[in-house]
Amino acid sequence: MTATATAAFTPSFMPISWHEMVSHRSYLVRFAQRKLHDPMLAEDVVHDVFEAVISGRAAFAGRAALRSWLTAILKHKIVDLVRSRVGLDSLDEQALDDATLAMECPQPRPDEVAEQRQQLRHTLARIEALPSGLRDVVRLRVLQDQPTEAVCEALAISEDNLFVRLHRARKQLLS
């Protein structure tokens, strides 16, 4: 191979000025905060990006925009951070300061269940009070979740009429 052919395959790295790199700092910090949900970690990761560039572990070849290149390094740093923290139990410092750690159950509380049942009874009573044409449509289409075609066939109405009746029933239920 000739010297010119070898030079074509050797990547050329472009020097980056500190000022040019730091001009993207606020964007990189915002990006990291959106991913990590922790402002301090975001600052640390962006600092790690700058350190990697300054120390020469990452070199800008100019194949992309500087911001894109820095963002790509940042993404890798975030992935490394997340991987290193996998398996660590994390508790907020505020939670540790509390005397008891409140663990919220995903199931509704008994008072919420009672309130939901009361609302359901009230709604079902209002459905029963609808005129028969509207009540039948709501029962079949909404409560029994039957397909539109089956409801239209059972009530001998058109699809357009079904939607009109549903609209009127919902309007009466919400008023």
Q: State the Cα–Cα distance between residues 131 and 172, nearest whole angstrom.
A: 10
Domain with CATH 1.10.10.10 in the chain: 110-174
Q: State the Cα–Cα distance between residues 42 and 156, nearest whole angstrom.
A: 63
Q: State the Cα–Cα distance between residues 156 and 141, nearest whole angstrom.
A: 14
65/87: higher pLDDT: 65
Topology given in CATH for the domain delimited by 11-85: Rna Polymerase Sigma Factor; Chain: A (1.10.1740)
The residue type found at 92 is D
CA dihedral 64, 70, 72, 73 (to 10 degrees): 130
pTM of the model: 0.43
Lowest mean pLDDT among 20-29, 51-60, 97-106, 151-160: 97-106
Question: How many other CB atoms are found less than 10 A from the CB of residue 69?
Answer: 19
pLDDT in tens, 75-110: 999 988 888 887 665 555 554 545 444 556 678 888
Lowest mean pLDDT among 5-19, 28-42, 141-155: 5-19
CATH number assigned to the domain covering 110-174: 1.10.10.10
Domain with CATH 1.10.1740.10 in the chain: 11-85
